[in-house]
Amino acid sequence: MAAFYVDPPRAPYWPSQHWHTSTPEEQGMDSAMLAGALEFARATALPLHSVTVIRDGLLVLDAFFYRTHSEILS
């Protein structure tokens, strides 16, 4: 008789107050490319307040853009 292992069932995951996190690389993403995209958004003054990347239910990137006082007045 062959024996086999079965993973125990996991509790359902859905973010409530906090997301589970992961690195971009653990999710098959390139962190340098994500950083480049953020730098492009900043350098070209895209009208963004934040960027959030969720991959397979895990928070990979959460970035916020803050305008300076002089940018707000112009």
In tens digits, the chain (74 residues) has pLDDT values of 566 777 777 777 777 788 899 999 999 999 999 999 999 998 998 888 899 999 988 999 999 987 665 556 65
* Token pair listed for 17: 């107050």
pLDDT on residue 47: 86
| pLDDT given for residue 59 in this prediction | 94
b/e code 26-51 from CB counts within 10 Å (16+ = b): eeebeeeebeeeeeeeeeeeeeeeee
Sketch the domain layout of the chain as residue ranges: 25-73
User: Which DSSP string corresponds to 3-54?
Assistant: ----PPPPPP---SSS--B--TGGGT--HHHHHHHHHHHHHTT---SEEEEE
The pTM of the full predicted model, rounded to 2 decimals, is 0.69
* CB atoms closer than 10 angstroms to residue 55: 14
